[in-house]
């Protein structure tokens, strides 16, 4: 009805929506070794991605997360250009970062 007053619900969060739990990550020894051997450009891309991840506590659309073909529990995400990070989900919202490097690194995740 046109004369009925409506409640102002702008800016109010719905109580029925669940809050997403923040994701955290752990680094494998192989990831640390890969990172130490990256070019400056690739290292910047990986660092920037991890900083963005820390700020959001989750993935952003630009990271383009995908399951690695042929591996049931290994995923990868884009860290800019041809830079990739492989990871595995662990319990309690933890990502285990396995490797980092150029796209060709995906052949040995």
103 vs 21, more confident: 103
What tens digit of pLDDT does each residue of 86-105 get?
999 999 889 899 999 988 88
Is the overall model pTM greater than 0.85, yes or no?
no
Cα–Cα distance, 105 to 99 (Å, whole number): 8
Concatenate the DSSP letters of all residues of 1-49 into one string.
-TTS-----TTPPPTTSPPPPPPEEEE-HHHHHHHHTS-HHHHHHHHHH
What tens digit of pLDDT does each residue of 56-95 get?
877 888 888 899 999 999 999 999 888 999 999 999 889 8
> Considering only CA atoms, which of 108, 39, 109 is closest in space to residue 80?
39
pLDDT for residue 17 is more than 50: no
CATH class for the domain made up of 24-104: alpha beta
Would you kindly state where each structural domain of the chain is located, as residue ranges?
24-104
The CA distances from residue 31 to 3, 19, 22, 35, in Å, are 63, 30, 22, 6
Percent of the chain's residues with pLDDT above 90: 45
> What is the DSSP code (8-state) at residue 73?
S
């Amino acid at each position: 009805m046109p004369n009925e007053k409506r409640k102002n619900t702008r800016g109010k969060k719905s109580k029925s929506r669940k809050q997403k739990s923040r994701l955290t990550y752990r680094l494998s020894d192989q990831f640390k070794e890969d990172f130490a051997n990256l070019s400056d450009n690739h290292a910047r891309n990986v660092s920037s991605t991890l900083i963005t991840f820390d700020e959001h506590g989750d993935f952003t659309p630009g990271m383009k997360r995908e399951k690695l073909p042929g591996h049931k529990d290994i995923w990868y995400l884009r860290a800019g250009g041809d830079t990739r990070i492989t990871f595995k989900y662990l319990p309690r919202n933890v990502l285990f970062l396995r490797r980092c490097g150029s796209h060709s690194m995906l052949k040995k995740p």
